[in-house]
Chain A
Amino acid sequence: MQLTLKVWRQKNGNAQGRFEHHNIEAEEHMSFLEMLDVLNEKLISEKKEPVAFEHDCREGICGACSMVINGRPHGPQTGTTTCQLHMRAYKSGDTITIEPFRANSFPVIKDLVVDRSSFDRIIQAGGYISVNTGQAPDGNTIPVEKDQASDAFDSATCIGCGACVAACPNGSAMLFTSAKVNHLEQLPQGKVEHNRRVKDMVKQMDKEGFGKCSNVGACSVECPKEISVENIAALNRHYLSSVFVKK
């Protein structure tokens, strides 16, 4: 299949970026990232700088493959990361516009690669439990109801990719932060430090300069793990109670 790519090129964080046009020949069974590999091989053979993009697992679990494809983070398919998107979703002759995630707290490093270490610092502020909970058998000594375990697991599936921030017109990180808070809050091991965690993670999120949530809902639509906005309402509830009710 013949494709025209409009790819964002930017030397570094301070440089002015621009779109570059490339025509390439790809196969329907390629993943989106393999299609970009074809582009880069072509660029390298022409002695040009390849397009920088992030990837690691290429199986939808690491959250590295951040890019906005035709206006949608991780492309057009719901519940799908860029690496799991396949070229059969496109037809020969299509033009595809590829941009980096855009948010002030995700500055561009180069081309399609953005710095998402602001997420790491939100996790460092409280997205953990302070004691060693042992191995799997130790975990199983505390019974957790199936429904509750499932809810916690739904929140835990967040891979920290940042698509929610990329999709949000406010550049808000509420979906990510709320998923991380709720995952731990719903389990007995995480409940203990809950109040401190909510306050610290929200504080760090604001400090990183993410925007304020106005309940637009674009985050959940674009999330490759389909994290629900119910997490955001729950975070608001926990935050209010940790500030006004609990000591």
Chain B
Amino acid sequence: MSLTGLFLISFLIVHLLGNLQLLIPDGGKAFNIYAHFMSTNIVIKFISIGLYVGILLHAIQGIIIVLDNRKAKGSKYAVNTYENGNWLSKNMALLGTFILFFLCVHMGDFWYKVKFTDTLDLITYPDIDYQVKDIYQRVSMAFGNVWIVVIYIVGLIALALHLIHGFQSAFTTLGLQHPKYTPAINVIGILFSVGISLLYALIPLYMYFAKLSNY
């Protein structure tokens, strides 16, 4: 759980860095070339298979743990209090399922359309000698729709909440705790969770409002 979780976190960082290229005001050139590289490079292909397996493993493990634990707890108390644990740590599965649902929407909208349909325009740039798919155009169209933007924002809030508990929890699970470093890990975890979600959210928000102001 902790290992797959931290692996997914490392993916989030790389994925974010790539996607922030969407914000470069060059009509999507840098992003399209990057996306072409990512979808044709053989090494990236293997890493992405690892990623799909990682997501599945993490989700399956999470669901098994929650079901096991429900059985281990047995009956419920008549009175429940805040001291029985905070909302975040008790709703990791709910938040995770929400993230999974969001991932399906996200991959259906981009990954599926890029890989398995030919609805995307091909485009050439003067300084490269091969054609690339205009994925930027597809993303920009999606983020012109206010409802898609809303789904992304809600999905990213769920991600931030999942990671606020998950980040520090993963360190405890691996036994990495120390009176000197743990307070720092906890603060970094919260900053990372909120920060990475905000940066991701910036992309649809920026593209939506940039489009509005263009009309």
Contacts and interface: CB of A to CB of B under 8 A. Distances in A.
Contact of A171 (B72, B81, B90): B72
Given A103-B73, A215-B172, A230 B80 contact: no
Interface stretch (B27-35, B126-134, B174-182): B174-182
A172 B74 CA distance: 12
B83 to A, nearest CB: 5
A122 B76 CA distance: 24
Interface stretch (B8-16, B63-71, B105-113, B116-124): B63-71
Nearest to A8: B78
B46 interface: no
Interface in B155-185: 165, 168-169, 171-177, 179, 182
A209 B86 CA distance: 24
A189 interface: no
B169 A237 contact: no
Interface stretch (A25-33, A85-93, A125-133, A216-224): A216-224
B85 interface: yes
Nearest to A230: B177
A211 B72 contact: yes
A229 B74 contact: no
Contacts of A239: 175
B147 interface: no
Interface residues of A, number: 41
Given A214-B65, A214-B69, A214-B92, A233 B77 contact: no
B73 A71 contact: no
Given A104-B71, A214-B92, A169 B176 contact: no
B73 A170 contact: yes
Contacts of B174: 236-237, 240
B89 A215 contact: yes
A216 B81 CA distance: 14
A169 B77 CA distance: 10
B84 interface: yes
A96 B79 CA distance: 10
Contacts of B179: 230
A102 interface: yes
Contacts of A209: 71-72
B81 A71 contact: yes
Contacts of A214: 65, 69, 89, 92, 169
Given A233-B175, A237-B176, A240-B174, A171 B69 contact: yes
A71 B89 contact: no
A99 interface: yes
B75 interface: yes
Given A233-B177, A236-B174, A237-B175, A104 B81 contact: no
Given A71-B80, A215-B173, A234-B177, A104 B74 contact: yes
Contacts of B81: 70-72
Interface string A3-28: 00010000000000001000000000
A168 B179 CA distance: 23
A170 B72 contact: yes
Contacts of A222: 83
A218 B72 contact: no
A105 B78 contact: no
Interface in A26-68: 68
A203 interface: no
A239 B74 CA distance: 27
Interface in A185-242: 209-218, 221-222, 229-230, 232-240
A233 B73 contact: no
Contact of B89 (A6, A211, A217, A237): A217
Closest 5 CB pairs between A and B? A237-B175, A233-B177, A211-B72, A71-B79, A170-B69
Interface of A: 6, 19, 68, 70-72, 97, 99, 102-105, 167-172, 209-218, 221-222, 229-230, 232-240
8 contacts: A19-B78, A71-B78, A104-B71, A170-B69, A209-B71, A234-B175, A236-B172, A236-B174
